[in-house]
């Protein structure tokens, strides 16, 4: 895994604690992280149930990927597929498909049933920690990230909090208080997602599962954006219901056929939740870093015949929890986030997009161009 991308920038640590943050820091203590989600459940029970289900589904997806990728019967297919992925790094054009479409389809059907089921808060909290595919450190990073995300929902849903920027800053300060389990508030080098050593492993080997995970990430960003929009203007009332309706349209059938196309690129806050990014850029970057980290973990687990997966996952954890190294300038981060295209990232929560608004994808934004097509989505 590449831990030091070219052009590494080491910005000075930004001081997050202010008098205003200090005054309300007790409201977002570690205890409040553990109890986050009460207001979501009260106002949007379907959303709360889905968030619990997402944790369980994504954790089980990691295990399903590991199990499928270790099947002895597919050793020859994995070796051939690994060579195809290597060729993608140097060839201008390549066509590839999942080496195990039937197993992936079965896994998606099973995971969709898990996602549609109701899961308790305790099940959601234990989903990553009890996971056999990732180590304890990564599990705790993802679990703490979910708690932070829930806290953001609580803040934007709570009409009694008049100073939302201060509340968000206090939540960020509390989140960062555990350095080993918190990702950076600075975006990582934009090239890392598409150029790390196992890049594209998830999307190419498991196109159905990658679109499922990215659709879940889309709803998490889109619903938070919808809540913010509803507080800004009455014309956006029921935006959360719209987000949920579009989510289920993207999920589609058990096999993946859908009315609204699911994301074909990782959803990011500037594209899907621009008001969140405008009001709370550091919080938005934390969510993006967490979502990118989840995809990187899935890439590592998906890449065929890869050795030392646990060490590579730990290296990814070290990179994303490093608060200074390998950071991307804001302009590069925004370019990368928007280069993915709003349509390809799942589309907006409000308004319509019937086709991609971009003529170049993230994968061809640099001098080394790689175009590919995967089947099964």
Q: What's the pLDDT band for 14 if we cut at 50, 70, 90?
A: very low
Report yes or no: 294 and 146 within 8 Å, Cβ to Cβ.
no
The Cα 45–Cα 239 span in angstroms is 15
Given a cut of 70, whether residue 102 has pLDDT beyond it is yes
The pair of structure tokens assigned to 321 is 């929890």
Q: Name the region of 186 (left: φ>0; alpha: ψ -120 to 50; beta: rest).
A: beta
Q: What is the pLDDT of residues 140-172, one digit of tens each?
A: 999 999 999 999 999 999 999 989 999 999 999
The average confidence (pLDDT) of the chain is 84
Mean pLDDT value of segment 173-181: 98
Separation between Cα atoms, residue 75 and residue 78, nearest integer Å = 5
* Residue 236: pLDDT band with limits 50, 70, 90: confident
pLDDT value of position 24: 38
**Residue 353, token pair as written in the block:** 């997009």
Delimit the domains of the chain by residue range: 23-373
Confidence bin at 355 (pLDDT 50/70/90): low
pLDDT tens for each residue of 360-369: 555 544 433 3
Could you read off the pLDDT of 106-150 as tens digits, one per residue? 999 999 999 999 999 999 999 999 899 999 999 999 999 999 999
């Amino acid at each position: 895994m590449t831990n030091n991308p070219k052009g590494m920038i080491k910005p000075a640590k930004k001081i997050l604690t202010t008098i205003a943050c200090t005054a309300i820091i007790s409201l977002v203590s570690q205890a409040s992280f553990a109890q986050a989600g009460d207001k979501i459940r009260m106002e949007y029970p379907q959303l709360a149930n889905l968030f619990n289900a997402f944790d369980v589904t994504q954790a089980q997806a990691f295990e399903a990927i590991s199990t499928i990728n270790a099947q002895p019967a597919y050793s020859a297919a994995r070796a051939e597929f690994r060579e195809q992925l290597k060729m993608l790094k140097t060839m201008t054009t390549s066509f590839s498909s999942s080496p195990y479409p039937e197993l992936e389809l079965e896994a998606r059907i099973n995971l969709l049933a898990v996602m549609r089921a109701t899961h308790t808060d305790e099940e959601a909290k234990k989903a990553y920690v009890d996971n056999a595919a990732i180590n304890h450190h990564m599990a705790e990073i993802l679990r703490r990230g979910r708690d932070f995300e829930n806290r953001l929902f609580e803040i934007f849903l709570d009409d009694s909090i008049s100073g939302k920027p201060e509340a968000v800053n206090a939540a960020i300060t509390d989140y960062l208080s555990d350095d080993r389990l918190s990702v950076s508030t600075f975006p990582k080098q934009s090239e890392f997602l598409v150029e790390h050593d196992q890049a594209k492993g998830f999307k190419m080997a498991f196109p159905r599962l990658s679109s499922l995970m990215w659709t879940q990430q889309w709803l998490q960003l889109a619903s938070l954006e919808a809540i913010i929009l509803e507080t800004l203007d009455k014309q956006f009332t029921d935006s959360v219901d719209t987000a949920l309706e579009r989510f289920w349209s993207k999920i589609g059938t058990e096999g993946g056929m859908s009315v609204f196309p699911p994301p074909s690129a990782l959803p990011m806050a500037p594209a899907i939740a621009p008001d969140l990014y405008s009001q709370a850029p550091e919080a938005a970057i934390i969510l993006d870093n967490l979502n990118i980290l989840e995809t990187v973990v899935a890439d590592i687990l998906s890449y065929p015949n890869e050795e030392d997966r646990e060490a590579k996952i730990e290296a990814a954890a070290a990179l994303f929890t490093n608060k200074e190294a390998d950071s991307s300038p804001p302009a590069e981060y925004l370019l990368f986030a928007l280069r993915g295209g709003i349509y390809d990232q799942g589309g907006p929560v409000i308004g319509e997009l019937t086709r991609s608004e971009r003529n170049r994808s993230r994968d061809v934004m640099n001098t080394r161009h790689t175009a590919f097509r995967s089947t099964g989505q």
